[in-house]
Chain A
């Protein structure tokens, strides 16, 4: 017997998905509402065959991959540091979590105007103080800058999850390894990392879901530019539907994004999903 909750959840998912699928087969332009006609696979054909599509696809994957690398490696390092006993541990931990509470639009604006701005930004001031030419991050390296901003806000999440995992590591195991003559590095490789694999998997899977749909950071900093250098799939869908008024094309892009997300999910589960089994 299918419970009402399952039916509700199914409707919750299938209605928007079905509507998007439906729109993606219509010639639906916001400038000419009420004039929708059947378009077949034209929307898909034109969405995929625009030059921006392939760069958006690579940008999406680079963004996800880059942020994942920085947050997992950085998260492990920070978690190891925070696991050490030191004075003011509580305050430092709260401060480390703080970036996660800053809204994406706000954090991106702060980075754009207060840090990366080539005239007034702090990085520019530092560069000038060192006698160097200020670097215009968002126009010279737009994607890398966005990766940095997004990684900054996701680092606390990874750190927190990995820190709790570290704290659950059995102290006697570490002492046993110490008695067995393992150096700090060997203890890290043979005990700490294997202990963390499950948490690392959780961090990667959860972050991937959110990183595939990064949007606000791009909108308030580079607007996808220069050109399409920092356009990812969600931003391209936005541009197609709301800047070009082409709801049909945007919906086709949305469906493509769903397919991409599923491909990534299958890959991830194949690669690291077995870590979740006990």
Chain B
């Protein structure tokens, strides 16, 4: 079980109000990703759920019972930290067994659980090494191992992949997703990387300045962002925002169009010159300075032979235009 409910939770550090009243429901077995720019309060929110920070007001319920004043060790949650936070003087085996030892479990049972976790995470050959002798990805797996042996109600991940290199990040991302499929335990995952959020989440919570901007499945957020912030944050490259005459023509204040929804044609709505062409092989990202709508990013197939200085014409897909009012809300 791992159902977590936050009701009007707030957090202030002295005078500074980091999290204004916030409500959130996390269902059992869900993979929830908190995403937002740095300093948006996503890590603070995770630490509030973990109990490492005290909430200023409001209530946190875990599986229906009030856990607001429960100390972190008693909440039945396990956390994986950004720095892994392994105990450097203990072997991998002792690291993984530490929570079990603290719970007073007998030695034979501890060993069985550690072996089991090591098998799931491919750590069997490393059990007698120390964290200092492991690579970044292995340390990450030990940290996850230490979390899963406790059989927690929910896993909390605090930017766990940000210390890994790009290739390893993709592998670990898949491993964590697979782990979620196997264990079917609630996972809460904090990241500033929207690719991680899109690929892993059942439910994304977009945070900005402590406020929840939108909650929904990755494709919901991509297809129908509720406001300018979510529209700009989800999707890569970023959505183009057009203001002025061109927006007024669509009867809105800001017009949003994603780079992948712009087609290069002849006689299109916007005409311009290619300022920069980034060739990724499969795709090419073009920065086009248009006469009518300012600078637009366009995603075209890598097959098209377009270069800096070429003159092109762009046409948006009419049913994929996003219209926002003066308050930045989607119309």
Residue in A170, A181, A191 whose beta carbon sits within 8 Å of that of B73 in the complex: A181
Contacts A186-B102, A194-B89; is A178 near B83 (CB within 8 Å)? no
Bound-complex Cα distance A176 to B82 (A): 11
Residues of chain A in range 145-187 having any CB-CB distance to chain B below 8 Å: 170, 172-173, 175-183, 186
**B146 (CB) vs chain A CBs: closest residue:** A180
A182 contacts across to B, CB distance below 8 A? 73, 98, 102
Residue in B52, B82, B99 whose beta carbon sits within 8 Å of that of A180 in the complex: B99
B87 at the interface (CB under 8 A from A): yes
A190 at the interface (CB under 8 A from B): yes
Bound-complex Cα distance A186 to B102 (A): 8
Q: In whole Å, how far is B212's beta carbon from the nearest beta carbon of chain A?
A: 25
**B50 (CB) vs chain A CBs: closest residue:** A179
Which positions in B face A, CB cutoff 8 Å? 50, 52, 71-74, 77-79, 81-83, 85-87, 89-90, 98-99, 102-103, 146, 150
- Could you tell me if B102 and A181 are in contact, using CB atoms closer than 8 angstroms? yes
B146 contacts across to A, CB distance below 8 A? 176, 180
Q: In whole Å, how far is B50's beta carbon from the nearest beta carbon of chain A?
A: 6
**B156 (CB) vs chain A CBs: closest residue:** A179
Bound-complex Cα distance A87 to B98 (A): 35
A173 contacts across to B, CB distance below 8 A? 85-87
- Could you tell me if B83 and A172 are in contact, using CB atoms closer than 8 angstroms? yes
Contacts A170-B85, A172-B85, A190-B87; is A179 near B79 (CB within 8 Å)? yes
B52 contacts across to A, CB distance below 8 A? 175, 178-179
Q: In whole Å, how far is B218's beta carbon from the nearest beta carbon of chain A?
A: 28
**A191 (CB) vs chain B CBs: closest residue:** B87
B87 contacts across to A, CB distance below 8 A? 173, 176-177, 190-191, 194
Further 19 A-B residue pairs, CB within 8 A, beyond A175-B79, A180-B98: A172-B81, A172-B82, A175-B52, A176-B79, A176-B86, A176-B87, A178-B52, A178-B71, A178-B72, A179-B73, A179-B78, A180-B73, A180-B150, A181-B99, A182-B73, A186-B102, A190-B90, A191-B87, A195-B89
Per-residue contact bits, chain A 22-58, to B (CB 8 Å; 1 contact, 0 not): 0000000000000000000000000000000000000
Bound-complex Cα distance A175 to B98 (A): 13
Interface CB pairs A-B, < 8 A, 16: A170-B85, A172-B81, A172-B82, A173-B86, A175-B72, A176-B86, A177-B87, A178-B71, A179-B78, A180-B73, A180-B99, A180-B102, A181-B99, A183-B102, A190-B90, A190-B98
Bound-complex Cα distance A175 to B150 (A): 16
Q: In whole Å, how far is B95's beta carbon from the nearest beta carbon of chain A?
A: 10
**A180 (CB) vs chain B CBs: closest residue:** B99
B90 contacts across to A, CB distance below 8 A? 190
Residues of chain A in range 174-214 having any CB-CB distance to chain B below 8 Å: 175-183, 186, 190-191, 194-195
Residue in A176, A181, A183 whose beta carbon sits within 8 Å of that of B85 in the complex: A176
Bound-complex Cα distance A170 to B79 (A): 16
Bound-complex Cα distance A193 to B98 (A): 16
Which positions in A face B, CB cutoff 8 Å? 170, 172-173, 175-183, 186, 190-191, 194-195
B85 contacts across to A, CB distance below 8 A? 170, 172-173, 175-176
Q: In whole Å, how far is B154's beta carbon from the nearest beta carbon of chain A?
A: 12
- Could you tell me if A178 and B73 are in contact, using CB atoms closer than 8 angstroms? yes
Going nearest first, the 4 A-B pairs with the smallest beta carbon separation are A181-B73, A180-B99, A176-B85, A172-B85
Q: In whole Å, how far is B148's beta carbon from the nearest beta carbon of chain A?
A: 12
**B143 (CB) vs chain A CBs: closest residue:** A176
Residue in A175, A176, A178, A181 whose beta carbon sits within 8 Å of that of B103 in the complex: A181
Residue in B71, B78, B83, B150 whose beta carbon sits within 8 Å of that of A170 in the complex: B83
B50 contacts across to A, CB distance below 8 A? 179
B83 contacts across to A, CB distance below 8 A? 170, 172
Q: In whole Å, how far is A229's beta carbon from the nearest beta carbon of chain B?
A: 43
**A171 (CB) vs chain B CBs: closest residue:** B85
Bound-complex Cα distance A182 to B77 (A): 14
Bound-complex Cα distance A170 to B82 (A): 12
- Could you tell me if B72 and A179 are in contact, using CB atoms closer than 8 angstroms? yes
Contacts A180-B150, A190-B98, A191-B87; is A175 near B81 (CB within 8 Å)? yes
B73 contacts across to A, CB distance below 8 A? 178-183
B102 contacts across to A, CB distance below 8 A? 177, 180-183, 186
Q: In whole Å, how far is A243's beta carbon from the nearest beta carbon of chain B?
A: 51
Q: In whole Å, how far is B248's beta carbon from the nearest beta carbon of chain A?
A: 51
Q: In whole Å, how far is B6's beta carbon from the nearest beta carbon of chain A?
A: 18
A186 contacts across to B, CB distance below 8 A? 102
Bound-complex Cα distance A175 to B83 (A): 12
B78 contacts across to A, CB distance below 8 A? 179
- Could you tell me if A177 and B98 are in contact, using CB atoms closer than 8 angstroms? yes
Q: In whole Å, how far is B245's beta carbon from the nearest beta carbon of chain A?
A: 52
Bound-complex Cα distance A194 to B86 (A): 13
Bound-complex Cα distance A195 to B89 (A): 8
Interface centre among A170, A176, A178, A181 (most CB of B within 10 A): A176
**B150 (CB) vs chain A CBs: closest residue:** A180
**A278 (CB) vs chain B CBs: closest residue:** B132
Q: In whole Å, how far is A192's beta carbon from the nearest beta carbon of chain B?
A: 11
Bound-complex Cα distance A182 to B74 (A): 10
